[in-house]
Amino acid sequence: DAGVIQSPRHEVTEMGQEVTLRCKPISGHNSLFWYRQTMMRGLELLIYFNNNVPIDDSGMPEDRFSAKMPNASFSTLKIQPSEPRDSAVYFCASSFPGRSSGNTIYFGEGSWLTVV
Amino acid sequence: SQQGEEDPQALSIQEGENATMNCSYKTSINNLQWYRQNSGRGLVHLILIRSNEREKHSGRLRVTLDTSKKSSSLLITASRAADTASYFCATDSGAGSYQLTFGKGTKLSVIP
């Protein structure tokens, strides 16, 4: 099993540029999550999809952030325009909630974003 | 807002000693999970304990849950240098929610 695949692993961009982060969830999983991790705020849930439909985007910081899931095997998180305070590690995670597995989440390795 | 809060924030022990980390949460849960994060990597699920369970074991891991106190503990016995990582508790918000809220973690250093 390949696990959750994220790209790019590392990105350095200039303030004002558009950033697109990509995620391929584990095959068969029907829930997908985008998290952001910083030293100051820890892990924050940005948005949660179930069966490709956004269920809760209350964690998306502002209109500069958008996320899509056009199909069950692909999701993007876009920041436009990017700002230095967006520098963080962005994790994609997926799960298949059930009685036996509960809601165990499987994380990708993260996309390390630096906005200068 | 944070649902789970780990304590201590950092813990340093000698190899072979036991490590205990605590987690407190605020609202009712269906289950509580512990995750581990090695430096520069994603989080990895360790163990899940349901709200009707009080204790669970997995290898060198022992998790307890006290729903009356809204707290959980993770015990790692006979620690190894490879256990050096950050450990997070994660809770759902009950009522069929599949979203998890994570604490800020305990950074464990095991000194060889």
Model pLDDT, residue A99 = 55
Residue B18 contacts residue B104 (beta carbons within 8 Å): no
Per-residue pLDDT, averaged over B73-98, amounts to 89
What string of H, E and C letters represents the secondary structure of A56-80? ECCCCCCCCEEEEEEECCEEEEEEC
CA distances (Å), B32 to each of A92, B29, B48, B68, B89, in order? 20, 7, 6, 14, 7
List CB contacts (< 8 A) between B100 and chain A.
33, 45, 103, 105
Model pLDDT, residue B86 = 97
Instruction: Give SS3 for A15.
Output: coil
Per-residue pLDDT, averaged over A47-72, amounts to 93
Model pLDDT, residue B3 = 62
CA distances (Å), B23 to each of A76, B3, B26, B103, in order? 32, 10, 10, 8
Q: A22-41: per-residue pLDDT in tens? A: 999 999 999 999 999 999 88
Q: pLDDT over 90 for what percent of chain B?
A: 77
User: In angstroms, what is the C-alpha Rg of chain A?
Assistant: 14
Model pLDDT, residue B95 = 59
Per-residue pLDDT, averaged over A86-114, amounts to 88
A42 to B31: CB separation less than 8 angstroms, yes or no? no
pLDDT for B2 beyond 50: no
A43 to B88: CB separation less than 8 angstroms, yes or no? yes
Least confident of A39-43, A59-63, B90-94: B90-94
SS3 content of chain A, % helix, strand, coil (to 5): 5, 55, 40
Nearest to B48 by CA among A53, A9, A103, A94: A103
**Cβ-count burial of A56 within 10 angstroms (0-12 exposed, 13-18 middle, 19+ buried)?**
middle
Question: Considering only alpha carbons, which residue of chain A is nearest residue B1?
Answer: A44
Instruction: Give SS3 for A11.
Output: strand
pLDDT for A88 beyond 60: yes
Q: How far apart are CA A31 and CA B16, in angstroms?
A: 39
CA distances (Å), A34 to each of A27, A31, A102, B107, in order? 17, 10, 19, 23
List CB contacts (< 8 A) between B98 and chain A.
31, 48, 50, 95, 97, 103
Model pLDDT, residue A62 = 85
CA A83 to chain centre: 17
